[in-house]
Each structure stands twice: as C-alpha cells, then as structure tokens.
Amino acid sequence: QVQLQESGPGLVKASGTLSLACAVSGGSISNCNWWSWVRQSPGKGLEWIGQIYDCGGTDYNPSLKSRVTISVDKSKNHFSLRLSSVTAADTAVYYCARNLRQSYGMEIWGQGTTVTVSS
Amino acid sequence: VLTQSPGTLSLSPGERATLSCRASQSVSSTYLAWYQHKPGQAPRLLIFAASSRATGVPDRFSGSGSGTDFTLTINRLEPEDFAIYYCQCFSSPSMYTFGQGTNLEIK
C-alpha cells in the first residue's frame, strides 16, 4: 500500500526557506491524485498548507499563499514544500498526505517531521 | 470557520461520545470530514462526505449532519478511541479548514 515519508532539515533559520520532501512508496505519484501538506504548531490544532494535483494544479491556504510553493517531481516519485521568509510561528510538525479526492480530505499520511525555526 | 464543541469531553469506556462541528456558513456535506489524532501519530481520516466511513474505520464511528451542523458519534467507546478529533471542510476558494479540535479524554 502507499506510504509517505517526510524528509528535510529539522532546523531552519528565521527569514530563511523551509524545504521538505515527501517520498511516495508503494505507488506512483503520476496517477492523478491530490497531495497535501498540513502542519501542527506546538499546542495548536491542524493547519492545511496547500495541495497539488499531479496531473496539474495547486491550491494554497490564502494565509500562507504568498510564501508557499508545492511541487511534484515525478522522476523521484516525491512532492515538495517550500515555505519562504519563515519565522518562529512556522515551527511545527509538518505532515504530507494523499487526498482521497481534491475535496474529500486526506486518507494517507506520513508520520510527520518536526521543523524548528531558530532566531 | 469551523467551531467544534465541546473543547474537552470526559467519558468512560463503553459510553457514547457525541462531538459537534458547526460551520459559520453552509457547507456541502460532500466536503465535510472527521479525523482522529493521537499524540506522536499522524492524523487518521475517519469520515468523509459527512457520513461515509474511511477504509478500515470501525462501524462504531458514524457521522451525520448537513448545512452548518455536523456530528461525529462514537458508540461504545474503546480505550483506543481517546484522542483529539478534528472536523474539516473544503470550501471556496478551494481550501481546507480544520476545526480547533475536541479532546476526548478518559473520565
């Protein structure tokens, strides 16, 4: 079955760019699925960051849209998150996920990776 | 905006849990989902399209509702059901929003 695994630096300097990848195993990223990024800041709830359709298209959280880029690399069977101009408020556990459909929610999740923004 | 209530629900195993999710504007039932989240684990999709159980979810979990009011019911609580539950909707302009969560704790 499809499994997801996040990877990337656990520590990012303030004002820098956070870059994470989500490796997809047990399936192809080229089957016209939607793939999402979600985060949870310490002591807070879940926040959707954005999603990408591997057949074309992206949706972003308006509150983060100016700083977020989500992309797919089919040759590596992974998708990525870039979040620029980070601050301490971007410290969180970041999850990647595969959607059931564009709008039906996230059915398969990675285990999450913790990113801390340091000053 | 999705508002979940109560913030914390204290119940005993074997009891029934009723969790509420209220939207600030009408939401298509097709776009309403519920998740279970335990510390240190990934969230788990329980219910999609307001009332459809995701793969592998026990039938003691059920979802209902329409418009602005949605409910997740968990019958005969098992010890492993104690967790935080989030509702989520997909709405214009093509974005997901989560509720703030309900902490279901053991009484």
pLDDT at residue B85 in the model: 98
Question: CB distance A104–B86 less than 8 Å?
Answer: no
Nearest chain A residue to B45 by CA: give it. A107
Distance between CA A14 and CA A29 in Å, rounded? 32
pLDDT at B92 (0 to 100): 82
Tell me the pLDDT band of B93, cut-offs 50, 70 and 90: confident
Task: Label residue A114 by pLDDT band (50, 70, 90).
Answer: very high
Determine contact: B57 vs chain A, CB below 8 A.
no
Matching residue, tokens 């949706």: A59
DSSP A69-107: EEEEETTTTEEEEEE-S--GGG-EEEEEEEESSTTS-EE
At B34, the pLDDT band (50, 70, 90 cuts) reads very high
Return the closest-CA partner of residue B35 out of A14, A105, A39, A27: A105
Closest residue in A to B43 (Cα) is: A109
Cβ-defined contact of A112 to B42 (cutoff 8 Å): yes
How far is Cα of residue A35 from the mean position of the Cα atoms in its chain?
A: 8
CB B55 within 8 A of CB B40: no
Name the residue of chain B whose CA is nearest to A105's CA: B33
Q: How confident is the model at residue A102 (pLDDT cuts 50, 70, 90)?
A: confident
Report CA Rg, chain A: 13
Q: Identify the bridge partners of residue B96 per DSSP, sorted by sequence position.
A: B90
Of residues A95, A82, A108, A106, the one with CA closest to residue A40: A95
User: What digits encode the pLDDT tens for the residues B36-89?
Assistant: 999 999 999 999 999 999 999 999 999 999 999 999 999 999 999 999 999 999
**Residue B54 has what DSSP assignment?**
P
Q: What is the residue-averaged pLDDT of chain A?
A: 95
Taking residues A39-66, report their average pLDDT. Answer: 95
